[in-house]
Copies of this chain bind each other. A is one copy, B any other.
Amino acid sequence: MAFTSRSEQTRAAILAAARHRFATDGFERTTIRAIAADAGIDPSMVMRYYGSKDGLFAAAADLDLHLPALATVPREKLGETLVRHWVERWEGGLSDELLIVLLRSATTNERAAEQLRTVFGAQVAKALASVVDDPAEAPTRAGLVSTQMLGLALCRHVLRLPPVVALDVDTLIATVSETVQRYLTGPLTS
Shortest Cβ gap from A20 to chain B (Å)? 15
Tell yes or no: A154 within 8 A of B by CB. Answer: yes
Which stretch from A8-16, A67-75, A88-96, A169-177 is at the chain B interface?
A: A169-177
Q: Give the interface size bracket for A toward B.
A: 35 or more
- With A and B bound together, what is the CA distance between A108 and B117 in angstroms? 20
Contacts of A107 in B (CB 8 A): 26, 103-105, 107-108, 154, 158-159
Tell yes or no: A56 within 8 A of B by CB. Answer: no
- With A and B bound together, what is the CA distance between A156 and B113 in angstroms? 12
Interface of chain A, main secondary structure: helix
Tell yes or no: A116 within 8 A of B by CB. Answer: yes
Tell yes or no: A188 within 8 A of B by CB. Answer: yes
Tell yes or no: A99 within 8 A of B by CB. Answer: no
Contacts of A47 in B (CB 8 A): none
Tell yes or no: A28 within 8 A of B by CB. Answer: yes
Query: CB within 8 Å of B: which of A133-168?
Result: 139-140, 142-144, 146-152, 154-156, 158-164, 166-168
Tell yes or no: A178 within 8 A of B by CB. Answer: yes
Shortest Cβ gap from A44 to chain B (Å)? 24
Cβ-defined contact, B151 with A175, below 8 A: no
Contacts of A173 in B (CB 8 A): 190
Cβ-defined contact, B163 with A143, below 8 A: yes
- With A and B bound together, what is the CA distance between A104 and B147 in angstroms? 16
Shortest Cβ gap from A172 to chain B (Å)? 8
Contacts of A4 in B (CB 8 A): none
Contacts of A164 in B (CB 8 A): 143-144, 146-147
Cβ-defined contact, B117 with A161, below 8 A: yes
Where the two chains meet, the residues of A that have a C-beta atom closer than 8 Å to any C-beta of B are: 25-26, 28-29, 103-108, 113, 116-117, 120-121, 125, 139-140, 142-144, 146-152, 154-156, 158-164, 166-168, 170-171, 173-176, 178-179, 182-183, 186, 188-190
